[in-house]
Amino acid sequence: MTGTKLTSGTEWWRTAVIYQIYPRSFADANGDGMGDLAGISSRLPQLQELGIDAIWLSPFYTSPQRDAGYDVSDYCDVDPLFGTLDDFEVLQRTAHDLGIRVIVDIVPNHSSSDHGWFQAALAAGPGSAERARYTFRDGKGENGDLPPNNWESVFGGLAWTRTTDPDGTPGQWYLHLFDTSQPDFDWDSEWVREQFRAVLRFWLDRGVDGFRVDVAHGMIKAPGLPDYTPPAEGGSMGGAPATLEPGISAESPVTAPYWAQDGVHEIYRDWHKVLAAYPGDRVLAAEAWVDPLSQMAKWVRPDEMHQAFNFAYLETPWNAAKLRSVIDESIEAFGNVGAPSTWVLSNHDVVRHASRLALTGENLQGHGIGPKTVGLPDTAVGLQRARAASALMLSLPGSSYLYQGEELGLPEAVDLPDHAREDPTWFRTNGERYGRDGCRVPIPWEGASASFGFSTGAKSWLPQPAEWAGLARDQQNGVAGSTLELYKHALNLRREHSLASGTVEWIDGFGPDVVAYRNGAVTIVANTGAASVQLPAGDVLLASEDLVGRTLPGDATAWLRAVTA
Ligand code: NOJ
């Protein structure tokens, strides 16, 4: 089916299912073992068949790939690894013809150190206009050989690197909240602001439907760059510590001087206007690790962004009471500013939920898992919970984000050999944190082909686990009970019953392990416990596990046609 019409002026993003494509690992058309844009174009019909509304493409811009493309050296071109601007045009046209919108990533907190702007800043020296575009400072101590403050990089180690002057003597330091190769811009610079307006317009002129904004809570730093020691329990990307210190309420979390500074909002108000000048509904989606959700909601006030990833939901364990509470909190927090809630369970930075939901260890999320991790997840339990969790998520009102491969039930790749790893986290922590390679392994399309059909050749930039043959798309397509069919069915029903624009009316009485609610004409029952529960009256529309009569097993979700009294 081609030629689906995209309607404009409908605020499509409020109810959309947005599928994240990680270009390195989706499909490789030129056989070099690295995914590319032509590969993506060739597989779009399968995404239409899945029933998604939009794709979000992680960065495919010119980049030395030291952080897998989140280190951009030209914001307005395609890296030869992935193709050309013409390949992008083809991809976008193909997607639009199939009724799929296209969101691209924008990385405004930092560039690559290879970017011409940073190279010019190094060459121009201290005090120059070029240096004022990045965050350069003199070092402390007699010879300036101590870093300007104590900040640590999200990937481990110091957040500062010292430069060397052209005559070979040690020079100023520059800030990088991430890898050394990712210098932070100074957003006090009007020049920087103007460059990014131009980048937005460059892609808007090419017809993109929106942007996912990387580190959208990080661009402004507190004046004076004061020292800061994060709480041990806090997430490395920000957010409140899991256990708040005495006297600090969730409404006034400890804010790092580099996260969630008020000044970022002015930037998004400005960007909102840039997008609004274009026809159609263009969207800004924030990657802002801000806790609690009432604070994160500031990013999606009516004149700022449109959506923010709901990381609080992603981080919620498979526990009925906690799920119910985060769903309430999300709908209230985003609803208070007139924005839809989003829901997300996986992305390219976290352990895939088909493994994460069965982890028994503590504090592993975000740090990756590998062969020597204590408490490795049970694959069968993980898959069962993931299917149940996805079925619950896709029933919720608002917009849902899917990460490529979750529709196949892919687990985290745990057995990657050390020499294959590429995540800077692995290197910067000397192998102490596995990082994110395990969720970035190229996905399997055909079980019997070399590289499982990921590539037209036999290579894959990260090795694919042999067991993935059985999870390949062609092994699941049309197979009743497969995870792929479960997703397709859920997406169909979600549309048919307008669940995404519905409401949540809780139903009590199923016991402490069950999340049950009514959304319009559908009743949803998710059982997070081990004991089975009796389903209420109503035809079963969908079940993540086989039912025995009208009994829902543990770790399973069912949707029923609600019976009205
Ligand atoms: C968040 C991105 O999702 C992650 O992959 C990247 O490493 C950091 N931002 C730095 O850009």
Domains and CATH numbers, the chain: 15-112+189-225+237-486 (3.20.20.80), 116-175 (3.90.400.10), 504-562 (2.60.40.1180)
Bridge partners (DSSP) of residue 114 are: none
Mean pLDDT (the chain) is: 94
Helix axes 379-393, 483-496, angle to 10 degrees: 10
For residue 216, the model assigns a pLDDT of 98
> 202 in the Ramachandran plot: left (φ > 0), alpha (ψ -120 to 50) or beta?
alpha
Q: Let me know how long the chain is.
A: 565
Q: Is 215 in the pocket of ligand 1 (CB under 6 A)?
A: yes
d(CA 529, CA 3): 45
Bridge partners (DSSP) of residue 464 are: none
Q: How large is the C-alpha radius of gyration of the chain?
A: 23
d(CA 544, CA 14): 25
79, 287, 315, 329: which one is catalytic? 287
Q: Which of 214, 348, 439, 440 maximizes ligand 1 atoms within 8 Å of its Cβ, making it the mutation to test the pocket?
A: 214
Q: Is 178 in the pocket of ligand 1 (CB under 6 A)?
A: yes
For residue 251, the model assigns a pLDDT of 42
Q: Is 107 in the pocket of ligand 1 (CB under 6 A)?
A: yes
- Positions of the chain with pLDDT under 50: 1-3, 240-253
Q: Is 53 in the pocket of ligand 1 (CB under 6 A)?
A: no
Pick from 230, 236, 224: nearest CA to 253: 230
For residue 230, the model assigns a pLDDT of 85
**What is the Å distance from ligand 1's center to 71 Cα?**
9
SS3 235: strand
For residue 247, the model assigns a pLDDT of 34
**What is the Å distance from ligand 1's center to 488 Cα?**
29
d(CA 376, CA 194): 48
DSSP code per residue over 61-122: EE---TTTTSS-SEEEEE-TTT--HHHHHHHHHHHHHTT-EEEEEE--SB--TTSHHHHHHH
pTM of the model: 0.96
Pick from 306, 313, 311: nearest CA to 337: 306
**What is the Å distance from ligand 1's center to 107 Cα?**
8
**Per-residue DSSP letter, 13:** G
d(CA 381, CA 147): 47
For residue 462, the model assigns a pLDDT of 98
Q: Is 214 in the pocket of ligand 1 (CB under 6 A)?
A: yes
d(CA 219, CA 259): 8
d(CA 253, CA 241): 8
For residue 565, the model assigns a pLDDT of 66
Question: In degrees to the nearest 10, what's the CA dihedral of 494, 495, 500, 502?
Answer: -90
| 287 is a catalytic site residue | yes
Pick from 353, 468, 384, 499: nearest CA to 51: 499
**What is the Å distance from ligand 1's center to 65 Cα?**
12
Ligand 1 atom closest to the CA of 178, numbered from 1: 10
For residue 198, the model assigns a pLDDT of 98
d(CA 307, CA 500): 14
87, 214, 291, 406: which one is catalytic? 214
Nearest CA to ligand 1 atom 3: 349
SS3 239: coil
